[in-house]
Structure 1
Amino acid sequence: MTNEELEFNNDEEVLTLYDNEGNEVLYRKLLQFYHPEFKKEYLILAEESNFSDEDGDIELIPMISTDDEEGQLLPVETDEEWDMIEEIVNTQMDEPEE
């Protein structure tokens, strides 16, 4: 599959999500794409408070975006999806910005 078959949205934005205790947590959306093979929209997030890590390491959090009105985000559960996301993130994050 080539990148031309994927639909990417690289516009960064900050999302407010809630953790298990109901606390607000800010996440920066780093990448959003639709994958035609899995027929799903994926978001790659990073927690805003950890975004400027001293070592340059950022924990990326992949999520599946649902089509419902609430905009619910679901965790990635299959190994095939994890492998695909890892490949796409490595490719997209390593490309120089134009």
Structure 2
Amino acid sequence: MTQEMEFNSEEELLTLYDEDGNEVLYRKMLEFHHPEFGKDYIILAEEGNFSDDDEDIELIPMINVPDEDGEGGKFLPVETDEEWDMIEEVVNTQMDEPEE
């Protein structure tokens, strides 16, 4: 039995901190749960580094690990080639679909 992936493409702005402790504003481009990997993923793009007609936005995929109460949590880097391949396929499919 195959499970369906759930997608959330509501845009949201997130403030994260870089390695130097500086605040950086990111736009959430896509969020989804992948049943095969059993993880939640979030695709971010740094706010201000692109416009609506820019085809070459740098997307930053992360694993979203919510805390126990479901509020907040932490983002972890994607580490396996299998996850990178799956994320690339999902992003290409979801970002290429015309909006209704």
With structure 2 as the length reference, what TM-score do the two structures score? Answer: 0.88
User: Does 2:26 match 1:27?
Assistant: yes
* 1:47 corresponds to: 46
| Higher helix residue share | 1
TM-fit CA distance, 1:71: 1.3
Percent identity over the alignment is 76
* 2:65 corresponds to: 66
1:23 counterpart letter in structure 2: N
User: Does 2:83 match 1:84?
Assistant: no
- Against the structure 1 CA distance between its residues 93 and 53, is the aligned structure 2 distance closer, same or farther, given a 3 Å change threshold? closer
* 2:15 corresponds to: 16
Listed one character per residue, the Cα deviations across residues 71-92 of structure 1 (whole Å, up to 9, x for unaligned) are 1000000000000000000000
Q: CA RMSD in A?
A: 1.8
> Partner of 2:48: helix, strand, or coil?
helix
User: Does 2:56 match 1:57?
Assistant: yes
Distance 2:34 2:76 in 1: 15
> Partner of 2:29: helix, strand, or coil?
strand
